[in-house]
Chains A and B, each alone.
Chain A
Amino acid sequence: DAGITQSPRHKVTETGTPVTLRCHQTENHRYMYWYRQDPGHGLRLIHYSYGVKDTDKGEVSDGYSVSRSKTEDFLLTLESATSSQTSVYFCAISRDRGSYEQYFGPGTRLTVT
């Protein structure tokens, strides 16, 4: 199994509060991704990183920001959480772009009340 951990695994927060989710990898992979999984939508890309301090937006980036100051850590921040951001969040890593599969972390279940 690829060395990917996510923290916290579960979180309940109130509308309007900031939330940061952490993804940590021990594989030294260059590419890291944040997805959300919702019923009827599958997995949708929020943001991704192609190197330290190099990030870009995915399909559903509004309301989210990311940071990557070290190869092993990729942080996802909800600046002001809303109920529509209640979801399961997955981090993924890949060795190189395109023709290399992504490996996923165990997920974080976030509930915004």
Chain B
Amino acid sequence: DQQVKQNSPSLSVQEGRISILNCDYTNSMFDYFLWYKKYPAEGPTFLISISSIKDKNEDGRFTVFLNKSAKHLSLHIVPSQPGDSAVYFCAASAVGTYKYIFGTGTRLKVLA
């Protein structure tokens, strides 16, 4: 049972435009969410996080939106740059647990 789902395996966006990556979850006990970026042959690197008490968190070009009623979060990248081309994972953690559940990832390709 996949508790965290990234239904789009890949996404292509033109440089300078907005990239929107989506993530859905099923567990209502999740209270903390993160996005990671991964380049080939490297470990994932932390991008941005959001607590369930917020509905938006912004860090430079990256904004994460959380819709708790829909159990949906999204990562917006504006403007997209070729260096943003990578695999993006969302992850969720439940109250009182030590661990994160990851989605299957979305491969973003930013076209120059």
Contact = CB atoms under 8 A, between A and B. Distances in A.
Interface residues of B, number: 27
Given A33-B99, A102-B100, A107 B105 contact: no
B35 to A, nearest CB: 10
B53 to A, nearest CB: 10
Q: Is the interface of A mostly helix, strand, loop or mixed?
A: strand
Interface residues of A, number: 27
A42 B104 contact: yes
Contacts of A43: 44, 89, 91, 102
Given A99-B32, A99-B51, A101-B34, A106 B102 contact: no
Contact of B93 (A42, A59, A90, A98): A98
Contact of A42 (B45, B96, B103): B103
Interface string A72-101: 000000000000000000101000011101
Interface of A: 4, 31, 33, 35, 40-45, 48, 50, 56, 58-59, 90, 92, 97-99, 101-107
